[in-house]
A and B are shown apart, each in its own frame.
Chain A
Amino acid sequence: MNIRENLMDIATVFWRDWVVLKRRLAKFILSRMVAPMLYLVAFGWGLGRSIEISSGTYLDFLVPGILALNSMNISFNSITPVHAERIYHKSLEEYTIAPIWPDAFLIGKVAAAVVRALISSAIIVVLAVLFGAHFQMTPLFLLVLVLNCVVFAEIGFLAAMKIRTYEEMAQVNTYILLPMSFLCGTFFSTQALPAAVRYFIELLPLTHTSYLLRGIGSGADVSYLSLLVLVLYAVAGWLWGSRAFRRLTE
């Protein structure tokens, strides 16, 4: 294995996405401000005034949840164009014919999705501070955010490798991402859910991200078991995604 060439391959895949993002950066930033702004206004200012939280304001409670769900959505959706490249434009053939390390494609794409999601997260942090939210940003907070992006970029990659039609891709958003956005401890604590539902919800990665970001953000102690869960999801996503990419040429 030639490590230098493998790193070059990752850089090439990332370079392609960076070229595309750079061209649309202003539009990307503006469009990424809309959803978080609405969440902060509707749930932070509007609904939040009538919600009592034991520590701090509802806005303080809400911001980590918004960061979790937004990084999930952006990282997943950043990678979904790979589906059109595979099915409609057939441009993935450029990578499968090239003498590259197959995992470089997955890593490069995930890295580009993480960058997009982090840019979007930075916008939310700025907006949240302007709205008067209080939270701490530590290196661990950033690590959890990155891990969350990696997990959902890998899920997006897997969907792009496996799913056949645009319609089915949209259904992943409807049946998986949308319910998770609302139920995984983003807008309210999972403690409020019935036991059977809660056990299921607590198996999902976004629940652990919300819990960790909220805990770290407020300076509380957090369970490293949640961090381990996210790492396990990321490793499983890599293994599965790598296998799916290699199977394109079977």
Chain B
Amino acid sequence: MIEVQHLCKQFPHRTKDGRQGFKTAVDDLTLSVGRGEIFGLLGPNGAGKTTTIRMMTMQTKPTAGTICYDGLDTRHDARRIKSLIGVVPQHINFDQDLTVGENLELHARLHHMARAERRARIEELLRYVELTDVVNDGVRRLSGGMKRRLLIVRALLHRPRILFLDEPTVALDPQVRRRIWSLVQDMARNGVTVFLTTHYIEEAEALCDRVAILAKGHLVDLDTPQRLRQKMDLPNLEEVFLALTAETQAKEGR
């Protein structure tokens, strides 16, 4: 479903001595994700998770490498791919001048949904995440948990085949987090491929079929949570994560 080959991203950056240079955010990342899989990209802050998702969702261009979805290349088929993907960003990015319903309506129109279909789908999804009562409220008035749920249903509105979630449960209380996890699992059961980034180990362990561990832009390991634990002979994914990222940091420091 998703094929990422030798992906690199460098950003212009001013070095310590004030010269113009480049900083590598993602370095030679290669991975593939199967249809209906929940795939997690795990890494500490600044590992390159968000940059990877931004490249995969065509928000920023790779410096090198390719990204393909069922053979469609992001360099040539951007518009076609955009109709297949749904994106839940890390930050809240609603249109602040529109209400909850209008934000969803805008999204549905941008995805060329017909009037009757968009009305029915908006109603169905708002009911699903229990936000029907706030449909006519401005988005500024929603609580953090409500905003997160709305971000997710907005991304699902046009029935994407691949769902990207960038730190979907960051700064949420445990109840809301669990609720979002069950929403993501429902999606995968319905055949949606889910690609998520997180730095919560328990989230990756609870949700993901496979995880890739990223540190300082490098892919450190990629496997099922269970096999990663067995390989390292460690009791949980958190220990595996700490061991692998510490190893990378030590190598970088050398």
Interface residues of A (CB under 8 A from B): 5, 8-9, 11-12, 15-16, 19-20, 81, 85, 89-91, 93-101, 249-250
Nearest first, the 7 A-B pairs at minimum CB distance are A98-B110, A99-B82, A90-B93, A12-B109, A99-B83, A91-B95, A99-B79
Q: How far is the CA of A15 from the CA of B109 in the complex (A)?
A: 10
Chain A neighbourhood of B6, CB < 8 A: none
Complex Cα–Cα for A91 and B83 (A):
18
Q: Is the CB of A90 within 8 A of B106?
A: no
Please report the C-alpha to C-alpha distance between residue A245 and residue B109 in the assembled complex, in whole angstroms: 20
Residue of A nearest to B91 (CB): A90
* Residues of chain A contacted by B97 (CB below 8 angstroms): 20, 81
* B80 proximal to A (CB < 8 A): yes
| A-B contact number at CB 8 A | 69
Contacts of B85 in A (CB 8 A): 97
CB-CB < 8 A to A93: which residues of B?
A: 59, 87, 89, 93
B107 within 8 A of A: yes
A98 to B61, CA, bound (A): 16
Additional A-B contacts beyond A20-B98, A90-B93, A91-B96 (5; CB < 8 A) = A91-B94, A94-B93, A97-B59, A97-B85, A98-B111
> Which residues of chain B come closer than 8 Å to A89, judged between CB atoms?
93-96
Contact call A8/B109, Cβ cutoff below 8 A: yes
Q: Is the interface of B mostly helix, strand, loop or mixed?
A: loop
Chain A residue numbers with a CB within 8 Å of B94 are: 89, 91
Binding site for A on B (CB under 8 A): 57-61, 79-80, 82-83, 85, 87, 89, 91, 93-98, 102, 106-107, 109-112
What are 30 contact pairs spanning A and B, CB under 8 A?
A8-B109, A9-B110, A12-B109, A12-B110, A15-B106, A20-B98, A89-B93, A89-B95, A89-B96, A90-B89, A90-B91, A90-B93, A91-B96, A93-B87, A94-B106, A94-B110, A96-B58, A97-B57, A97-B58, A98-B110, A98-B111, A99-B79, A99-B82, A99-B110, A99-B111, A100-B79, A101-B79, A249-B60, A249-B61, A250-B60
- Is B112's CB under 8 angstroms from A5's CB? yes
Are B102 and A19 neighbours in the complex by a CB distance under 8 Å? yes
Interface residues of A, dominant DSSP: helix
Q: Is B95 within 8 A of A99, CB to CB?
A: no
* Best-buried of B58, B89, B97, B109 by chain A (most CB within 10 Å): B97
**Residues of B contacting A101 in the complex (Cβ-Cβ under 8 angstroms):** 79
Pairwise interchain contact B59-A96, C-beta atoms closer than 8 A: yes
| Min CB gap A89→B, angstroms | 5
Q: Are A91 and B93 closer than 8 Å at their CB atoms?
A: yes
Within the assembled complex, what's the spacing in Å between the Cα atoms of A91 and B93?
5
User: What is the CB-to-nearest-CB distance from B93 to chain A, in angstroms, rounded to a whole number?
Assistant: 4
Instruction: Check B112–A99 contact: CB distance below 8 A.
Output: yes
Residues of A within 8 A of B111 (CB): 98-99
CA distance A132 to B39 in the complex (A): 72
Contact between chains at B93 and A98 (CB < 8 Å):
no
Q: For the complex, what is the distance from the CA of A20 to the CA of B106, rounded to whole Å?
A: 12
Q: Report A-chain residues with C-beta under 8 Å of the C-beta of B83.
A: 99
B234 to chain A, nearest CB (A): 38
In whole Å, how far is A183's beta carbon from the nearest beta carbon of chain B? 34
Q: Which of B59, B98, B112 contacts A8 (CB 8 A)?
A: B112
| A29 smallest CB distance to B (angstroms) | 18
In Å, the complex CA distance between A98 and B109 comes to 10
Q: What's the nearest-Cβ distance from chain B to residue A15, in Å?
A: 7
- Distance (Å) between the CB of B143 and the closest chain A CB? 18
Task: Find A94's partner among B79, B95, B112 (CB 8 Å cutoff).
Answer: B95
A16 to B104, CA, bound (A): 11
For B60, the closest partner residue in chain A by CB is: A249
Pair B80/A99 contact, Cβ less than 8 Å = yes
- When distances are taken between beta carbons in the complex, the residues of chain B under 8 Å from A20 are 97-98
The distance in angstroms between the C-alpha atoms of A101 and B78, with both chains bound, is 11
CB contacts (< 8 Å) of A96 on chain B: these are 58-59
Closest to B59 in A: A249
Separation of A89 and B147 alpha carbons in the complex (Å): 14
Residues of B within 8 A of A95 (CB): 110
Task: Specify the chain A residue showing the minimal Cβ separation from B89.
Answer: A93
Considering residues A8, A19, A89, A98, which has the most beta carbons from chain B within 10 angstroms of its beta carbon?
A98
Nearest CB on A from B172, distance (A): 19
In the complex, A220→B83 CA distance in Å?
A: 54
From residue A121, how far is it (CB to closest CB) to chain B in Å?
24
- How far, in whole Å, are A81 and B98 apart by their CA atoms in the complex? 13
Point out the residues of chain B lying under 8 angstroms from A94, CB to CB.
Answer: 93, 95, 106-107, 110
